[in-house]
Amino acid sequence: MSTVLDSIIAGVRADLAERKAAKPMFFVEREAVEAAAAISPMERFRAPGLAVIAEVKRRSPSKGDLADIVDPAALAGAYAEGGAAAISVLTERHRFNGTLADLDAVRARVDVPVLRKDFMVDEYQFFEARAHGADIVLLIVAALDDSELGRFLHLSKELGMTALVETHTAEEVDRALAVGAELIGVNNRNLKTLDVDLATFGLLADRIGEDAVKVAESGILSPADAARVASEGADVVLVGEALVKHGSPTEAVAEMIKG
Ligand SMILES: O=C(O)c1ccccc1NCC(=O)[C@H](O)[C@H](O)COP(=O)(O)O
């Protein structure tokens, strides 16, 4: 049976085919090599205290329209002012109303690392991410086989980027560890059903162990939720909805950090 994730990826592949036709790989590879070097988020993520990856998120398959973000750079600047350790920018068009132009605008505004949050299924997207200034890319274990996972992790590193390897089950955590992921996310949202269960992070955190940096993703709606996952071992939280709907993004990030 086809899942939400399958249908998102079908749209991503169709868009990708258009971009590849408009700008062949050779040109994107050159732009990636010429881009300013990527910034590693790992030192900040490993530092004491909870780090926040603050997301620029207009809409989502689970919640529909969330916020009318006309100036993503201003939002990212406000997040950085509140102490965000990194900014996540959704660049998928059909379900999230994001663009690569959002990534460009955010990259130009902030000095903290920037995550290109998309559904990465093809080498081209990694060169493209780097060409547009991304420092971090997302690898969703549920969307990739082991060979793709290993290849894309390696390619991310070769381009100087850090891969956030996203899991949702014990088996996916084991697959992430097997390819040597150093930054592992547990998504509290099941991308096949869109159900959110904040307990997911706590159930999987121990399995990740102490070597990898642990990121709790999705469904963190309040500082109390952030404090909960931090107490369960999260080094980092990735937050979208709660920040874009808060009204004062700088304060919202600062409150999440305090927990
Ligand atoms: O947000 C969704 O509905 C969604 C559905 C299908 C695939 C991915 C989806 N979201 C991407 C994310 O990972 C979240 O934007 C991110 O973790 C922040 O989540 P939240 O704080 O709950 O907005």
Residue nearest to atom 12 of ligand 1 (CA): 218
| pLDDT for residue 1 | 78
Buried b (16+ CB within 10 A) or exposed e, 197-222: ebebbbebbeebeeebbbbbbbbbee
Alpha-carbon distance of 243 to 241, in angstroms, equals: 5
235-244 pLDDT tens trace? 999 999 999 9
Residues with CB under 6 A from ligand 1: 4, 55, 57, 60-62, 187, 189, 191, 194, 217-220, 238-242
Burial of 64 (0-12, 13-18, 19+ CB in 10 A): exposed
Whole-number Å distance, alpha carbon 96 to ligand 1 midpoint, is: 9
| pLDDT for residue 95 | 96
Whole-number Å distance, alpha carbon 59 to ligand 1 midpoint, is: 9
| pLDDT for residue 259 | 79
Scanning the structure block, which residue is given the tokens 């329209």?
65
| pLDDT for residue 39 | 98
Number of domains, the chain:
1
Q: Please give, one letter per residue, the 3-state secondary structure of the chain.
A: CCCHHHHHHHHHHHHHHHHHHHCCHHHHHHHHHHCCCCCCCHHHHHCCCCEEEEEECCEECCCEECCCCCCHHHHHHHHHHCCCCEEEEECCCCCCCCCHHHHHHHHHHCCCCEEEECCCCCHHHHHHHHHCCCCEEEEEHHHCCHHHHHHHHHHHHHCCCEEEEEECCHHHHHHHHHCCCCEEEEECECCCCCCECCHHHHHHHHHHCCCCEEEEECCCCCHHHHHHHHHCCCCEEEECHHHHCCCCHHHHHHHHHHC
Residue nearest to atom 14 of ligand 1 (CA): 218
110-122 pLDDT tens trace? 999 999 999 999 9
Residue nearest to atom 8 of ligand 1 (CA): 191
Residue nearest to atom 17 of ligand 1 (CA): 218
Burial of 246 (0-12, 13-18, 19+ CB in 10 A): middle
Give the closest residue to 221 by CA, choosing from 183, 184, 255: 255
Residue 111 is part of a domain; what is its CATH number? 3.20.20.70
Whole-number Å distance, alpha carbon 218 to ligand 1 midpoint, is: 6
The parent domain of residue 79 ranges over 4-258
Residue nearest to atom 7 of ligand 1 (CA): 191
| Mutation to probe ligand 1, out of 218, 241, 246 (largest number of atoms < 8 A from CB) | 218
Low-confidence ranges of the chain (pLDDT < 50): none
Query: How many Cα atoms occupy the beta-carbon half-sphere of 89 within 13 Å?
Result: 33
